[in-house]
Amino acid sequence: MPPETPENSVEPLERQSLVDRLTARLGEAILAGRYDRGATLPPERDLARALQVNRTSLKHALQRLEQLGFIATRHGIGSVVLDPTESAGARLLSYLVFRASGIDTAVLSDLIEARTLLGAFLTRLAAERRSDDDVARLRGVLADLERAADEPDEVQRLELVFFRNIMRATKNQIFVTLASSMFAVYLGRAHVFRDAFTERARVHQALGRVLDAVQARDAGAAEQAAHDYLKKNGKALLDAAKRAG
């Protein structure tokens, strides 16, 4: 395949474009495979001319792309294209879901599936390893949820606190970090998903079943209860995102 050139790899941007729009345009080009993995982007001077932006804006956009794991800057070579799914972390998850063109519901669906499976497994682990203090913290969150008003934002916040305490009860920092990366994606755009938390009583009841199994150290029941809740809630999250566009 011939190397990409500025002319056939990207389209010019309007002169008033912001750095985030430029970042999105180049990021979309990389994700679409318009640059081969391992290829080098055109020199900044040529790329800036093709995009009709100044080099300062382009430089800032390239720095963002490097932070996201799309490229790596190598001295004497330039900006080398990476496979972001292999080189990036939590920030890429948010970028992949909330694209410049809108919410990518296919990627969001994948993320929700991963959230469901990992969350259920972590709840099993929490049931096996939890301490009395862990149970007390979870009971406290449920008590707050029971007293809370029927306000979706507050229900969503307390649900997140509940599962963060489930993660803490696993005593495994790596799993906690992985799960937190998933939670961070929708936490940053919480308003998009608020319609998934309109039924406070049902959320309270479902989380109560999770806690009862964790307290009883019934790992199988804890995993199943968490899976059932997260799967149903995940569908609600996806439906809310589709309505939000």
Contacts of residue 209, defined as CB under 8 A and 6 or more positions apart, other chains included, come to 225, 229
Q: What is the mean pLDDT of the chain?
A: 87
Compute the average pLDDT of residues 99-109.
85
Contacts of 111 (CB under 8 A, 6+ apart): 93, 97, 182, 185
Choice between 11 and 74, residue whose per-residue pLDDT is larger: 74
User: What pLDDT score was predicted for residue 85?
Assistant: 66
**Residue 90's pLDDT band (boundaries 50, 70, 90)?**
low
Nearest-Å Rg of the Cα atoms of the chain is: 22
pLDDT digits (tens, 9 = 90+) for 24-47: 889 888 887 888 888 999 999 999
Mean predicted confidence (pLDDT) in 66-70: 85
What fold does the segment set 6-88 form as a domain?
Answer: Arc Repressor Mutant, subunit A (1.10.10)
Answer yes or no: are the C-beta atoms of 10 and 53 closer than 8 Å. Answer: no
Output the CA–CA distances (angstroms, integers) from residue 20 to 146, 161, 194, 199, in the order listed.
41, 31, 26, 36
Q: What percent of the chain has pLDDT over 90?
A: 58
> What is the reported pLDDT for 17?
47
- Evaluate whether 6-88 and 93-244 have a shared fold: no
User: Which is more confident, 194 or 87?
Assistant: 194
pLDDT reading at 50 higher than 50: yes
16 pLDDT higher than 50: no
Q: Give the confidence band of 189 by pLDDT, cuts at 50, 70, 90.
A: confident
Specify the range with the lowest mean pLDDT, choosing from 32-36, 56-60, 67-71, 181-185: 181-185
pTM of structure: 0.72
Where do the structural domains in the chain lie, given as residue ranges? 6-88, 93-244
Bigger pLDDT: 2 vs 231: 231
State the pLDDT confidence band at 233, using cuts at 50, 70 and 90. Answer: very high
**Rounded to the nearest 5°, which phi and psi values hold at 54?**
-80, 160
Q: Provide the 3-class DSSP secondary structure of residue 156.
A: helix
Q: Quick one: pLDDT band at residue 177, thresholds 50, 70, 90?
A: confident
pLDDT tens digits, 107-156: 899 999 999 999 999 999 999 999 999 999 999 999 999 999 899 999 99
Instruction: Return the biggest CA–CA distance within the chain.
Output: 65
- Superfamily the domain 93-244 falls into: GntR ligand-binding domain-like (1.20.120.530)
